[in-house]
Each structure stands twice: as structure tokens, then as C-alpha cells.
Amino acid sequence: MTEQFEPTIIGFTCNWCSYRAADLAGTARLKYPPNIRLIRLMCSGRLDPSFVFKALAKGADGVMITGCHPGECHYLEQNYKALRRFLLIRRTLKGFGIEPERVKLVWASAAEGVKFASETTSFVEEIRELGPLNWGKASGNGGKPASEKEAEQLETEVAA
């Protein structure tokens, strides 16, 4: 394969910490690969495991779950519930025959834009190593336009 595989990653972020960390990464103009697309939840405790399976089934190659550091949850202790579900999700994936490493849990406070960017960067690398999941109808277009025609169109738009 000559062209580098570009995974698509869905990130579930907590409104109070990691979503703000992502904002902070932006404000500070930190750089990380465009393979991740974020969904804001009020708390990592809101993460229904079926969201993760849905994302993987619909074409994501990896899922990053982010929440407040242990002991710093905005809702006191709900990130611990996210941790338990994370472990459960990993075991279930293993049962499905899917690499559990496709799901990652990251604690990032609102002040940790740098950590958010670096964890995202390394996760994209990890998923790139694992290769496409190929569970849904297709995967592995993350960050790349679907067709050549469209790529050209985009190029001209971006240039303009």
C-alpha cells in the first residue's frame, strides 16, 4: 500500500473538561491530525456503550472516550462509571473479534489542551497501525474526500 491509511475516529468528549481542552487546543493553535471528529456529551457517564458500537459499525476505525480526571468529575463520580463501561466495551469488542485497542479512554481536564492534542495524535497513529476496521460499509476515508472529482472540487474551493 503506497498511500497512508487515514483512519476515521469518533471522539466522545465531556462538556466540562475534554471538550474545553479541545477548545483550548484550538485557541492555542496546537496541531493534531484531522482524523478525529468530536461529539459533545454532558459527561463521560452519558456514554452509552451502544454509541461506541454504533460508531464502529457505521465506519469509524476507532473511538476515543474522554472525561474528567478521576476525582474531578463535574458530576462528582460519573467518570468512574465511564471507566467501568470502557472496560466492558473493550471486553465485548474482544468477543466480537475486534481489537479492543480501537477504543481508548483519556482523562483530560479543561486546562489540558496539550494533552488532548498529543493523546489524539498518538491514538490516530495507533489506529493507523491497526489498519481499517472494515465493519461498516466502508472505512478508511477519514480526512480524505470520497472521490477524485470531489477532491478536485475541494482543492479549488480551498485555494479560492
Partner 1 sequence: MPLRHKYCYKFMCSSLGQELIEKDIKELGLTRVVVAACSPHLHENTFRTACANAGLNPYLCELVSIREQVSWVHNDKVAATTKSQAVVAGGVERVIHNESLEPLKVPIHADTLVVGGGIAGIQAALEIADAGYHVYLVEREPTIGGHMAQFDKTFPTLDCAACILTPKMVQAGSHPNITLHTWSEVENVDGYVGNFTVTVRKKARYVNTDTCTGCGICWEKCPKKVVDEVYEAGFGIRKAIYTPFPQAVPKYPVIDKENCIYFIKGTCKACEKFCPTEPNSINFEQNDEVVEIQVGNIVLATGYDLFDPERIPQYNYKKLDNVFTSLEFERMCNASGPTDGKIVLRDGKTPPKAVGIIHCVGSRDKNYNAYCSSICCMQSLKFAHLVMERTDAEVYNFYIDMRTNFKDYEEFYQRILEEGGHFVRGKVAEVTDAVRFPGEEGKLIIQAEDTLIGKQRRIPVDMVILSSAMEPRHDAQEVGKQFGIACGASGWYIERHPKLDPVATMTDGIFIAGCVQGPKDIPATVSQGAAAAARILGRIQQGEIALEPIRASVNEEQCSGCRICNDLCPFNAILFHEDKMVSEINPALCQGCGTCVAACPAGAISGTGFSNEQIMAQINGLLLLDVGDETIPA
- Which of 74, 98, 118, 126 touches partner 1 (CB under 8 A)? 74
Find residue 37's DSSP bridge partners: 10
Span interacting with partner 1, options 86-94, 98-106, 108-116, 127-135, rule CB under 8 A: 108-116
The DSSP element (H or E) to which 116 belongs, if any, is helix 113-130
Q: Among 5, 118, 126, which Cα is nearest to 62's?
A: 126
- Spell out the residues 6+ positions from residue 58 whose beta carbon is closer than 8 angstroms to its own: 136
Span interacting with partner 1, options 16-24, 94-102, 126-134, rule CB under 8 A: 16-24
Span interacting with partner 1, options 74-82, 89-97, 100-108, 125-133, rule CB under 8 A: 74-82
For the chain, give the longest Cα–Cα distance: 50
Q: Among 153, 159, 142, 155, which Cα is nearest to 34's?
A: 142
Classify strands 62-67 and 36-41 as parallel, antiparallel or unpaired: unpaired
Under the criterion CB under 8 A, does residue 148 sit at the interface with partner 1? no
- Which of 76, 88, 91, 125 touches partner 1 (CB under 8 A)? 76
- Which of 7, 8, 64, 124 touches partner 1 (CB under 8 A)? 8
d(CA 12, CA 86) in angstroms, rounded, equals 12
Binding site residues, partner 1, CB under 8 A:
6, 8, 10, 16-17, 19-20, 22-23, 25-27, 29-34, 37-43, 45-49, 51, 54-55, 58-60, 68-69, 71-72, 74-78, 81, 85, 109-112, 117, 136-138, 141, 143-147, 149-151, 154-155, 157-158
